[in-house]
């Protein structure tokens, strides 16, 4: 299905932080409020917000263009927002989108200057209402093979585009190191992830090489088997634990041939941030697997449903879990797997607001206190009792 993606960020945000000092947080909150107001007025769906960056999905480029104009008109000269718009068919996973179209939209945004709005050729072609567009010609965008024809929305004079210039990592592909002693499986996973827009920076067949590549490549995430040479016991798990201890910014997703809850809980013992444990069978569901890798790379968690089931079954009859409604139980299981509210809503066919209400009820019934950003560790700690 066709989706129009709109990416924004503030040009020179680092400089702005230095200039404003303690006043920057209030400026950032004001910026976010103005962007969100424009999104709401034009029927967009906020996919992600990190710092001063937004990614938004629209049903049509016309709405995205309207939102872009409202965002620009809402800001002062001091806060200079740049915007990229691209229409494509990205994969919907875990409440967000993945794939080359996502990276293309991010790269188009990164090529723009503050107060400039750029559209891709596909976005321009899909417009149903005429818009004032200036043809800027074809440009090579970093990390994309083919040049992209870009168009500027409305009048305005700007310097040459920032194409081919790295820009604070905006929209950079998630960098992955793969470790598995099966070459066929390793190549298959690499192909699946590359097709979903990830960048495979190294493939290795043993734990020692994995640790070496993590030091050399500084990836966003590692995907590793548990059992690897020389003993085929738990080399991958021990390497994963070492990576979590010594490379805090690297996510770790462990794959296992068999369900071994003890290994999964050992991996999650210190923290559920940036860690995952999945059965290898899950790889066949490309969208779900890609979503798990993305979650772990971004500091979230991904726990195999079979592990969650083992933690839940066999609990005492008087356990507060018995007070949960069937829907609340489903939501609890999906929280334990590491899914976001968006992802849970997508899976259950509910609205995000409904999920929020269920989460509040679950935390109250299980006596977990106030909901926090650390809800996955809180739920797992409860289930391990």
pLDDT band at 167; cut points 50, 70, 90: very low
Closest CA to 289 of 300, 279, 299: 279
pLDDT higher than threshold 60 for residue 359: yes
What per-residue confidence (pLDDT) applies to 349? 85
pLDDT, greater one: 157 or 46: 46
Section 239-268 average pLDDT? 83
Residue 30 has pLDDT above 60, yes or no: yes
Summarised one tens digit per residue, pLDDT across range 117-135 is 999 999 999 999 877 899 9
CATH architecture designation of domain 3-153:
2-Layer Sandwich (3.30)
Per the CB < 8 A criterion, the answer to whether 359 and 341 are in contact is: yes
Q: What is the pLDDT of residue 179?
A: 95
pLDDT band at 145 (very low <50, low <70, confident <90, very high): low
pLDDT value of position 170: 42
pLDDT at 209 over 90: yes
Q: Where are the domains of the chain?
A: 3-153, 175-309, 314-383
Sign of CA dihedral 195, 197, 202, 205: negative
The reported pLDDT for the residue numbered 318 is 76
Residue 164 pLDDT: 42
Per-residue pLDDT for 364 more than 60? yes
Q: What is the mean pLDDT of the chain?
A: 85
- The reported pLDDT for the residue numbered 73 is 94
Tens digits of per-residue pLDDT, 292-332?
898 888 888 888 888 888 878 767 777 888 888 999 889 88
For the chain, percent helix, then strand, then coil, each to nearest 5? Answer: 45, 20, 35
Task: Give me the pLDDT at residue 372, please.
Answer: 54
**pLDDT, position 165:** 39
At 221, the pLDDT band (50, 70, 90 cuts) reads very high
- Tell me how far apart the alpha carbons of residues 65 and 127 are, in angstroms, rounded to a whole number: 9
233: Cβ–Cβ under 8 A, 6 or more apart, which residues? 227
Provide the whole-model pTM: 0.56
Of 105, 125, 107, the closest CA to residue 56 belongs to: 105
State the maximum Cα–Cα separation within the chain, in Å, rounded to a whole number: 70
- The alpha carbon dihedral of 221, 343, 46, 51 has a sign of negative
- Considering the four listed CATH numbers 3.40.50.970, 3.50.50.60, 3.40.50.620, 3.40.50.2300, the one that applies to the domain covering 175-309 is 3.40.50.2300
Which position has the higher pLDDT, 149 or 263? 149
Residue-wise pLDDT for 47-77, tens only, equals 988 888 899 999 999 999 999 999 999 987 7
| Residue 208, pLDDT above cutoff 50 | yes
Residue 143 has what pLDDT?
64
What confidence tens digit (pLDDT) does each residue in 255-278 have?
Answer: 988 777 777 777 776 667 788 899
Assign 82 a pLDDT band (cuts: 50, 70, 90): very high
Strands 301-303 and 133-139: what pairing? unpaired
If one compares 56 and 170, the residue with the highest pLDDT of the two is: 56
What pLDDT is attached to residue 225? 93
pLDDT-based confidence at 205, cuts 50/70/90? very high
Least confident of 24-28, 207-211, 228-232, 262-266: 262-266
**Interatomic CA distance for residues 102 and 172, integer angstroms:** 10
Residue 49: both structure tokens together: 């917000």
**Residue whose tokens read 């990229």:** 84
Please name the fold of domain 314-383: Arc Repressor Mutant, subunit A (1.10.10)
Pairwise CA distance, residues 23 & 79, whole Å: 13
């Amino acid at each position: 299905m066709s989706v129009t993606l709109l990416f924004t960020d503030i040009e020179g945000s680092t400089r702005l932080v230095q200039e404003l000092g303690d006043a920057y947080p209030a400026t950032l909150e004001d910026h976010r409020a103005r962007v969100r107001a424009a999104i709401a007025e034009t029927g967009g769906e906020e996919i992600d917000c990190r710092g001063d960056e937004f990614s938004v999905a629209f049903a049509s480029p016309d709405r995205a263009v309207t939102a872009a104009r409202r965002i620009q008109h809402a800001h002062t000269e001091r806060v200079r927002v740049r915007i990229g718009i691209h229409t494509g068919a990205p994969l919907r996973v875990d409440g967000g989108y993945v794939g080359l179209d996502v990276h293309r939209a991010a790269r188009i945004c990164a090529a723009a200057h503050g107060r400039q709005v750029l559209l891709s050729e596909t976005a321009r072609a899909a417009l149903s209402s005429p818009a004032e567009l200036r043809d800027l010609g074809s440009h090579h965008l970093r990390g994309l093979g083919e040049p992209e024809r870009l168009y500027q929305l409305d009048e305005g004079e700007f310097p040459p585009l920032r194409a081919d210039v790295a820009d604070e990592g905006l929209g950079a592909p998630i960098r992955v190191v793969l470790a598995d002693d099966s070459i066929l499986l390793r190549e298959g996973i690499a192909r699946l992830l590359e097709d979903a827009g990830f960048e495979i920076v190294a493939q290795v067949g043993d734990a020692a090489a994995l640790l070496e590549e993590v030091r050399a490549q500084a990836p966003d995430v590692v995907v590793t088997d548990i059992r690897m040479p020389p003993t085929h016991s738990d080399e991958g798990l021990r390497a994963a634990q070492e990576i979590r201890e010594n490379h805090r910014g690297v996510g770790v997703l462990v794959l296992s041939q068999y369900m071994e809850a003890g290994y999964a809980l050992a991996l999650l013992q210190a923290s559920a941030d940036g860690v995952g444990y999945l059965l290898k069978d899950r790889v066949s569901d490309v969208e779900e697997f890609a979503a798990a890798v993305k979650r772990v790379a971004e500091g979230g968690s991904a726990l195999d449903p079979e592990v969650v089931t083992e933690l839940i079954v066999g609990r005492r009859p008087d356990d507060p879990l018995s007070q949960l409604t069937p829907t609340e139980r489903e939501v609890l299981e999906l929280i334990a797997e590491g899914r976001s509210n968006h992802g849970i809503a997508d899976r259950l066919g509910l609205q995000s607001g409904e999920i929020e209400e269920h989460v509040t009820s679950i935390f109250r019934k299980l006596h977990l206190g106030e909901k926090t950003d650390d809800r996955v560790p809180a739920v797992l700690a409860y289930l391990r009792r």
